[in-house]
Amino acid sequence: MSGSGCPDLTALRRVPIFAPICAPIVASPCARAHQHVPGRYRMHDLVALYAAELANQDRTRPWRDDALRRLVAYYTTTAHAGDLVLGPHWPPIEAPPVPAGCHPQQPSDTTAAMEWFETEYDCLLAVQRLAVQLDWHEPAWQLAWCLRSFHLRHGHLAEEILLWLHALAAAQKLGNLAYQAIAHRYLGTVLTDLDEDAGRSHLRQALLLFEQTDDHYGQADAHRALAWVLERQGDMEGALVQATLALQRFRALELPIREAEALNEVGWRHARLGNHAQAQTHCEAALELNRRLEHREGEAATLDSLGYIAHHNGRHADAISHYHDALRLYRELEVLTVVVGPTLTHLAPPRAARRTGVGNARLQHRDVGGPPTRLTLTPMSGRVRGHHAGRVSAASLMTLRIMGIRCKLFPWQSEWCSFS
């Protein structure tokens, strides 16, 4: 519930069917509803149970179904608008329909969108579960899609897996091959941290479905994701092949944003293979294109790659400069450690080499432009631990355990979250 002085409850009291529920709450807000954060209220558990009991009575069905449709539409439509703000360069899906009486929000900028997603995150998860229970397959799929850009910045690995599992089931029930392909693509990416073979299987299925539906963008995106999975499995040459295919397809589609990102990813794989001249050429082209397009996420990722190349060419001062520029951009974009962590990992060796001339050191690093992030780094292992972490709820972790999935919070994390 939201609003000052519980105005929503006051309005509901005027509806006959809800009067017995709302009257005692409005009459005694301190006892029955409390403002746990400014402008948001929670019911007492007993009141919530009583409300649910009344709502499940047959006489409430017309009001209940209409209200639930407005609720799901509000969250789906506002999430869609927020996703367009956070990821304006991604191919959009059709905006969900808005029923009469539903008034979704329109986040004005990135900060407003991020604040809305952070505030409403638990509600968004609950609304997708509700849509699944009611067999409303379209919004169940749409909610997973609309949270992609937020998850890219904030993590929430376990929750994202559950969202896309529900989305895949919804797409299969709809018989929508395009939806199924996209669900397989994102499941393949997020599952790779947990089970690389399962991740690659989902991505192969995604590529097959994208080919069946003649989706050239989807094919390019699947090649890009497969490159990441193969890199995780240690097959850097295979990753370079897939990244090159993605670059060729994005160029053919004349999508400069995706071309800039793919140039960086090809350059990164060349760098990991020791082809530093080719890596430098691709990444410099990516940096120039990202800056011309004002694509700051792509610019930050490319600066990270250029820092890696500079370090391995012995240009440690240049490497540090590139990494600090990347961290500054990530900070401006309000990206948390789920994305920043690898850049912090890469930054430590050139700093150690410049200070001591030895690459093996244990460092304390201060995050650029923000609160201190204490890190313990062993460059030989390439693992880093920080205070910032993407939130993964105990309920979601337990659900994954029941499904037989182990959960590692971050790609660079050495420990697995387990229940033993």
Domains of the chain in sequence order: 7-110 (no CATH), 118-331 (1.25.40.10)
**Residue 174 pLDDT:** 96
**Residue 400 pLDDT:** 42
Nearest 10 degrees: Cα torsion 368, 373, 377, 382: -70
The alpha carbon of residue 402 and the mean position of all alpha carbons in its chain are separated, in whole angstroms, by 23
**Residue 37 pLDDT:** 72
104: three-class secondary structure by DSSP = coil
Give, for all 420 residues of the chain, the pLDDT tens digit. Answer: 544 344 444 445 555 555 555 555 555 444 456 676 777 767 677 777 776 777 676 655 677 788 889 999 999 999 999 999 998 888 878 888 888 888 999 999 988 999 999 999 999 999 999 999 999 999 999 999 999 989 888 778 889 999 999 999 999 999 999 999 999 999 998 888 788 888 889 999 999 999 999 999 999 999 999 999 899 889 999 999 999 999 999 999 999 999 999 999 999 999 999 999 999 999 999 999 999 999 988 999 999 999 999 998 888 888 889 988 888 888 887 665 445 556 666 666 676 666 655 443 333 333 333 333 322 222 222 222 232 333 344 444 444 444 444 433 333 333 333 322
**Residue 157 pLDDT:** 82
User: Which residues, other chains included, contact 147 with Cβ-Cβ below 8 Å and sequence gap of 6+?
Assistant: 79, 83, 117, 124, 160, 163
DSSP class of residue 91 equals P
Contact between 393 and 158 (Cβ < 8 Å): yes
Q: What angle do CA 324, 308, 287 make, to 5 degrees?
A: 70
**CB neighbour class for 75 (10 Å; exposed up to 12, middle 13-18, buried from 19):** buried
Of 267, 363, 372, which is closest to residue 322 (Cα–Cα)? 267
What are the two backbone dihedrals, phi and then psi, of residue 190, each rounded to the nearest 5 degrees? -75, -30
Cα gap 362→351, rounded to integer Å: 11
pTM above 0.75, yes or no: no
Contact between 392 and 406 (Cβ < 8 Å): no
